[in-house]
């Protein structure tokens, strides 16, 4: 259940602020940041956030 809640929180952060990791060390290491344009990266992070929220909800209800 705790893992589900953590996934929901991380997903909500990605939905709220999708460019949170677009600076600092992540700029040099993340393939997604280097490969995508700004718009595509934002879209990618929002989809990832939605998937995390759905997975978190599923884990909370299944446990």
The total number of structural domains in the chain stands at 1
Which tokens hold the place of 31? Answer: 């393939």
pLDDT in tens, 8-29: 999 999 999 988 877 655 666 6
By residue range, what is the domain housing residue 9? 2-62
**More reliable by pLDDT, 63 or 56:** 56
pLDDT in tens, 33-52: 777 888 888 898 899 999 99
Helices (H), the chain: 2-16, 26-29, 31-35, 38-62
pLDDT at 4: 95
Q: For all residues of the chain together, what is the average pLDDT?
A: 86
């Amino acid at each position: 259940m705790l893992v589900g809640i953590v996934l929901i929180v991380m997903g909500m952060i990605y939905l709220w602020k999708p460019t949170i990791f677009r600076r600092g060390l992540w700029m040099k290491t993340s393939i997604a940041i280097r490969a995508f344009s700004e718009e595509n990266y934002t879209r990618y992070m929002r989809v990832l956030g939605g998937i995390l929220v759905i997975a978190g909800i599923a884990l909370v209800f299944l446990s």
